[in-house]
Structure 1
């Protein structure tokens, strides 16, 4: 209908009196509004990029500099370093002659050039300032910090008062430093000590020394060149080889998920929750477009800027399958979302041409979809299974069956959507007396049925039938910290700022009436046969994964901070103890750390299994070891872990450097016994902490009760190796931790539920170490504080 109406807006008719032109004024007005809106958005985007690029100065400073230059020129004085004289005598003289026009035009242009030069010098100074990382190594438990760090923080605080935009610091962030070859190889050997026998260690040490003296030096020289010629020497290779070139399914293997709040459940209306979530996500997207998000989101109190590159890829983005390597696409000015309900796909507008649609308006549209008599077209229900299967298979099918006609048009709607909303038919929630309910919720978010998520999209919002919500996120575009920030903002605005009425419906007026457009498909038996191939692959993965979640409320961050131990270091030591109990050995451990203090930084690995942590674990399992010795070893292990974490964040990690060396070696087609031995590393315990409190500025006016109600269980991911565990955790408030444990059922040595049981014992054992040093902590159960 929309296409037919568009055609009738303008028509030409040949009559005896000539050509008659008829048109629909209202529709042409809408077309003009759409054109002008797009034009204004492009101008606004250019303006924001320009303002961010000249930070910390503003446009008024340009007027000031040119004004000073004009005043001095009136008195025949030149403050433009001779640029004005050169322009006047050698360029404008031949165009305008020797008059006043040449004089003041040269002054204006030279003043602008001088202004731009001063900006570049200022931004280079900021880059030099941000290269200082000594503050990372200051002891947080000391009463005072060094004078250098104090001055550094004061300067940053002063700069932050200039009102930076989201990307204001991007061009001023330093490049990721390239570690020395000797330093990386030495650290690598040290990380292998607790997991290798003496014979194995000596063998790797010998190979490492040969590599250091031979091939390693040549590979390092290539990396030195790349580090100077690129913004980040590792990120482009990381995204290409770790993500885009992987041919295995991204469902479970790569994508990760995130949870709703645990205790706050203000509505059971699926349409109302979907509408509020969509509205809040669109508001966050608008903040990103306008660069109104603070670049200090991760460290709001310290005002340290982090790389913000990943924010612009969160929405309007999709991973596109390729035969050899996938690609990532991002689009501007997208005004619709894709909706999946009861096996059918829809296009739903989120903008009426003048403003974002209100939640009440969106709720009506979602309710129409839910109440509709929906019968999927042949093959439509399981269409998304292509995104859950092998990447090359999906690339071939996409090229052959979705390259023309209505299939291509409908596929473009999904891939170019701002995001995807899944109206799921399941009901899940949190029951502290029944962990299996949260386990089932995690399975639904991680993979669903395989065919009811568009895993290629940057983000899928999954709204359950009972109004609970979660997300499934593609990983190549960015990391969990940005997703967590978006979800914090969305839940804050959905549940607290906007909320619901007493009947659980959206609050607000309904001025616009809209409806979703049903997407059309032509999927014959051949296409559906190809879908079955992906379905078998996906079902095999789904049947093999086991999730076990733990919401721990016996103690939390508040207790650990009293002990002057980092909560992350404490939990990593606890995980080492749990893993040893579970597997009776130590293994290479992966903990994700950010490198976003540098431009285009992604992640680095903290190898959490150290000699110090293994000494602590052995002491905990030694019945004859005194409590004081265990405490001493825990503190030593925690300090070592913090040192490794700081090294990773400041560009002194091991794994990304080794990875880049390995890529160069493969490019040169060289043979390396050293890399054959150590690469790829097998992390049998892969861990990650979900960041929290990135919306502190937005939530500073909330009461402690409101903050407690927003506590989430964080998110999780699938097992990284066939015989290992994946463990994600979140330090949710002062009195709660949440753990997400994944493993494969086919592995003879792993069990997520057994690991959860061992983890509970480890948490209690470690808490008992401090029983005589601290009073028993309070815990949060169902949002109410109880004192034990």
Structure 2
């Protein structure tokens, strides 16, 4: 099997990435919503304006500025180790003017070279908004004007229009068949083309979201779920990304996963938030700066003729999507007891620190849920089945052309030994510290291997693809690739720290982003280390699994973080700006 991969490597720019995109993403027939897509949040504590149309005007303009920089190749490549090694940015090419097209056996990615319009969804209606006037890009105040015209439009949705996007939220085969039967000609084709060939999709959401100090838990959980799935019909999940502006001025992003990984979207998002706050700004009354222009044509409604047969498919897709969305147990929270500043004083990798805390939290989580399961299960599962699980951490492989990700298997013998030592009352602090350092060093070693092309999982995946093509039965490959990742984790790195001066503006911190659970009986955990003193966590699981509970896991994660930092004779309050 390896011979075929070597042969492929001679003519392919990357022998992994095209198969990874095709077989992991585009051939998946289940819903993209929750199972595949991911989201990015606004600033945690700051909302520059509470006027919905104004926030949309500035941020849409910032997004389009970023697109222009991409088109002109003005964005400097991100470099590793200061300025030594440039990271591959091939995924950026499909960020804009891109949509995933459903097929019965496999989807495709449609990318047009340029798009001069947006499609905006509000209150069940679709509007086409041109981005240029008199040969120039609309200014922020003009975009605010266009968004306000959409908000003020009193028209009602056409039959079948309001919940149309539920087709993109459900299974792929019904959507592919429905698209071929009802959207291949006439006004439906014209309107669908407008959506799929738009620069990106915008939702002017009717709800208010974001962190509320008086109710931090519920508000952040609601915000995360809204960005991940919304009402299942108010995001176009096939677009490269849907930009969401809430009624109270908060913003967010929902990204389709096949075309790119989270760091690519994160780079855009950092630029948008910093440009909005520190460059464009707002007037004292909260509007975009500049003047309106009544000569700009108003947004136009997209026209649909959706027959009853198509409406039945829409309703069926919405029903299955609702079941999936309602099953998502999400917990998003800022951890401000300490951050990477204090962790670095321990002379360890902040990422390794968090990964070991996740292992300890998962162990605590099982011990807590066992009494509730004891009556239902014949016996307590053995240690290697109940207390530890196969753990996935995403590592970028952008040192290589068209590189995407590799897996770091962060549940190791060393991490298990450390966790067991933390649980054993007879272990001393010195013994636990020694095991922590061994586990941390092992994790860093595995991460370096993954990042530099010496990981194992993507190679095993490619061997499996070859084996299926050659009809070679491989029990080993079949077994190793069917093992579930019950703990799937990812760090969202800050890439442009120079855009945010957190010493002068400590409140301008990012909330990061997250994703749904990978396994029905597991957790999805995303985290972002913001500045020196804050870590934002996003934890997902499913209500239907009796063994998981995102809020319980979050509590154990906080405890695990504090338990580990005390090994180094630091208290959680050692962080100079900690709030707890």
TM-score by length of 2: 0.94
Distance 2:213 2:416 in 1: 33
Given the alignment of the two structures, is residue 507 of structure 1 paired with residue 289 of structure 2, yes or no? yes
Shift of 1:748: 1.8
Partners in 1 of 2:416 and 2:326 — Cα distance? Answer: 34
Shift in CA distance, 300/335, structure 1 to aligned 2, threshold 3 Å: farther
Q: Which residue of 2 aligns with 1:312?
A: 93
CA distance in 1, matches of 2:415, 2:83: 30
Residue pairs, 1:175-190, within 5 angstroms? none
- CA distance in 1: counterparts of 2:186 and 2:417, whole angstroms: 64
In structure 2, relative to structure 1, the CA distance for the partners of 1:772 and 1:316 (3 Å cut) is closer
Query: Does residue 677 of the first structure (1) align with residue 460 of the second (2)?
Result: no
Q: Is the 8 A contact 2:334 2:537 kept in 1?
A: yes
CA contact (8 A) 1:492 1:710 kept: no
CA deviation profile, 1:196-248 (whole Å, cap 9, x unmatched): xxxxxxxxxxxxxxxxxxxxxxx011111111121111111000000000000
Q: Among residues 34, 38, 41, which one is paired with 1:256 in the alignment?
A: 38
TM alignment of 1:484-633, pairs within 5 A: 484-511=266-293, 513-584=296-367, 585-633=387-435
Q: Check the 8 A contact 1:491/1:710 in 2, yes or no.
A: no
Partners of 1:524 and 1:228 in 2: how far apart? Answer: 51
Aligned-partner SS, 2:15: coil
Deviates more, 1:486-495 or 1:351-360: 351-360
Q: What's 1:482 paired with?
A: 264
8 Å Cα contact 1:485/1:695 also seen in 2: no
**Partner residue in 2 for 1:739:** 537
Q: Give yes or no for contact 1:317–1:331 (8 Å, CA) kept in 2.
A: yes
SS at match of 1:477: coil
Distance 2:212 2:420 in 1: 35
Show structure 1 runs of 5+ residues with no match.
1-218, 782-787
User: Structure 1 residues 582-591 or 722-731, which shifts more?
Assistant: 582-591
Cα distance between partner residues in 1 of 2:276 and 2:297: 21
Find the counterpart in structure 1 of residue 380 from structure 2: none
Question: SS where residue 633 of structure 1 aligns?
Answer: helix
Shift in Å at residue 525 of structure 1?
1.2
Structure 2 gap ranges (5+): 368-386
Structure 2 counterparts to residues 392-431 of structure 1, below 5 A: 392-431=173-212
Cα distance between partner residues in 2 of 1:674 and 1:720: 22
Shift of 1:496: 1.3
Which residue does 1:375 correspond to in 2?
156
The answer to whether the aligner puts 1:268 opposite 2:47 as a matched pair is: no
SS at match of 1:558: helix
Alpha-carbon distance in 1 for matches of 2:486, 2:436: 22
Contact 1:554 1:778 in 2 (8 A): no
Equivalent pair of 2:502/2:508 in contact (CA under 8 Å): no
1:19-418 aligned at under 5 Å gives the runs 219-296=1-78, 299=80, 301-418=82-199
Larger fraction in helix: 1
Which is higher, the Rg of structure 1 or of structure 2? 1
Taking a change above 3 Å as real, the CA distance of residues 392 and 353 of structure 1, as seen in their structure-2 partners, is: farther
**How many Å separate the matches in 1 of 2:572 and 2:118?**
52
- Alignment counterpart, residue 641 of structure 1, candidates 443, 447, 455: 443
How large is the RMSD of aligned CA atoms in angstroms?
1.5
Structure 1 SS opposite 2:136: coil
Structure 2 residue 503 is matched with structure 1 residue 722: no
2:376 is aligned to none
The alpha-carbon deviation at position 353 of structure 1 amounts to 4.6
Aligned residues: 559
Partner of 1:770: 568
Following the alignment from structure 1 to structure 2, what is the Cα–Cα distance between the partners of residues 634 and 738? Answer: 23
Q: Secondary structure at the match of 2:86?
A: coil
Q: How many angstroms apart in 2 are the aligned matches of 1:324 and 1:523?
A: 25
- Note the C-alpha offset of 1:503: 0.6
- Tell me, yes or no, if the aligned pair for 2:565 and 2:571 is still in contact at 8 Å: no
Query: Match for residue 370 of structure 2?
Result: none
Q: Distance in 2 between matches of 1:726 and 1:768?
A: 26
User: Structure 1 residue 268: deviation in Å?
Assistant: 0.7
Q: Is the 8 A contact 2:183 2:192 kept in 1?
A: yes
* 1:709 and 2:492 are equivalent in the alignment: no
Query: For residues 134-188 of structure 1, what are the alpha-carbon distances to aligned partners after superposition, in whole Å with 9 as ceiling and x for unaligned?
Result: xxxxxxxxxxxxxxxxxxxxxxxxxxxxxxxxxxxxxxxxxxxxxxxxxxxxxxx
Following the alignment from structure 1 to structure 2, what is the Cα–Cα distance between the partners of residues 433 and 761?
A: 23
CA deviation after TM superposition for structure 1 residue 302, in Å? 2.9
**Do 2:206 and 2:247's aligned partners in 1 also have CA atoms closer than 8 Å?**
yes
Aligned 8 A contact 2:566 2:572 in 1: no
CA distance in 1, matches of 2:82, 2:272: 22
Higher mean C-alpha displacement, 658-667 vs 424-433? 424-433
- 2:138 and 2:52 map into 1 onto residues whose CA distance is 18
1:775 deviation in Å? Answer: 7.9
What are the superposed Cα offsets for residues 385-437 of structure 1, whole Å, 9 maximum, x if unpaired?
00001101100000110000000000000000001110001101213453111
Note the C-alpha offset of 1:774.
9.8
Whether the aligned pair in 2 keeps the contact of 1:321 and 1:392 (CA below 8 Å) is yes
Alpha carbons 1:274, 1:421 under 8 Å: kept: no
For residues 257-302 of structure 1, give each alpha carbon's deviation from its aligned partner in whole angstroms, at most 9, with x where no partner exists. 1100011112110000111111000000000000100112x54833
**Maintained 8 Å contact 2:133/2:296:** no
Separation of aligned partners in 1, 2:190 and 2:502 = 48
Structure 1: how far apart are the matches of 2:486 and 2:421?
22
SS in 2 for 1:591: strand
Contact 2:102 2:172 in 1 (8 A): yes
1:763–1:510 Cα change, 3 Å: same
